[in-house]
Amino acid sequence: MAAHPATSSAPSRSLSGARPRCAAPRSPSSLAVAAPPAGLRPCGSRALRVRAKVASGVQGASVVDDGVERPWKLSDARLVLEDGSVWKAKSFGASGTQVGEVVFNTSLTGYQEILTDPSYAGQFVLMTNPHIGNTGVNPDDEESNQCFLGGLIIRNLSICTSNWRCKETLEEYLIKRNIMGIYDVDTRAITRRLREDGSLIGVLSTDQSRTDDELLEMAKKWKIVGVDLISGVTCDAPYEWSDKTDSEWVFNKDQSSATFHVVAYDFGIKHNILRRLTSYGCKITVVPANWPASEVLKLKPDGVLFSNGPGDPAAVPYAVKTVQEIIGKVPVFGICMGHQLIGQALGGKTFKMKFGHHGGNHPVCDLRSGRVDISAQNHNYAVDPESLPEGVKVTHINLNDNSCAGLQYPKMKLMSLQYHPESSPGPHDSDTAFGEFIELMKSNR
């Protein structure tokens, strides 16, 4: 294959044995541009104060073999997929070599919430929205205390940030947290490949000493199915949570004035799930994933939450056993991984989806009312409704593929959702699910 000019994005190439499929040629890379000065910017008769900061990831110059310095950065990273395709890219964030499962996320905004969602442990997240980084990063949008994903894959890295809440650039953020990122890669072509072939294991590397074949071998040997990822993201000890949703973000004023004690199992719980429950009148005790059910029941909680989390629910039998020991004794609410664990605890089966659901724009239908919500989702596994015992009702389905998105079992006082009702990031259609959990606990008093 002929070499492409240094100013263009390199398409993928396939190692021997891989099905030939080339990414489309890309447009020339953006040249380094100075950020506009901070201050007042005219906007009609009004003035808008803009805080701008240059992102350094696209500013670096490169020197090639001919000794000439170019004013743009050249490709210095590779993504090698297990199907043999090699995608050249430009790096930002941390350097090194990392293995993970590549999944695509269709959210238009909220990359910081995605970066700090523990459910992405062991994965590389590819953003289908082509322009990422323009709002920078701020401390208020964290969903956990650290980043658990393996890396971030994007098309265009913004050359500056201009959001009033921004405290640092996306690249600065990734460097501090030792997370790899690549840009100037054909994310549309990779997304189409994942939709056709399913989620693929990949290797991100900035190490030029490693050959493509070596990286391919790493991808083929690495496994994520059957691996317990929850133990690496859960808390170490129980703690109390009391923070509510900040007033400027409260969109549902009709919330309970009663107080309910909820024990939340941390399988990789997001902060905004805890904030929404607290805003609905819950006092929350968070416990680790392996906390004994007997100790939880001694607290005499009004309800128990089984949270979201990463990986294969079949790889955590200890969590399934815990759910079995709790359901039927107190009202329970399962979210995402919690939903899948409830399905298994009831005797049902879970299965790995082709490429999963990741994004803030998935339509879900409530079969009880016919109401359709646009939901935020992040999972690679689903519950098989045909395997569930009699009496368990499927309450919600994903309208993209009719997969099970919610369960209810009145006899056992439980409800569950496959998606994220706190919707961070995403639309807030599903927030009423927290109110439904409140009513379930109220009716059990």
Active site residues: 336, 420, 422
How many C-alpha atoms does 148 have within 13 Å on its Cβ side? Answer: 26
User: Cβ distance 303 to 445 under 8 Å?
Assistant: no
- Contacts of residue 348, defined as CB under 8 A and 6 or more positions apart, other chains included, come to 383, 384, 385, 387, 388, 389, 392
Strand 260-266 relative to strand 282-288, pairing: parallel
Q: Kindly provide the b/e burial profile for residues 363-399, where b requires at least 16 CB atoms within 10 angstroms of the residue's own CB.
A: ebbbeeeeeebbbbbbbbbbbebeebeeebebbbbbb
* Torsions phi, psi for 442 (to 5 deg): -65, -40
Strand 85-93 relative to strand 77-81, pairing: antiparallel
Strand 69-70 relative to strand 62-63, pairing: antiparallel
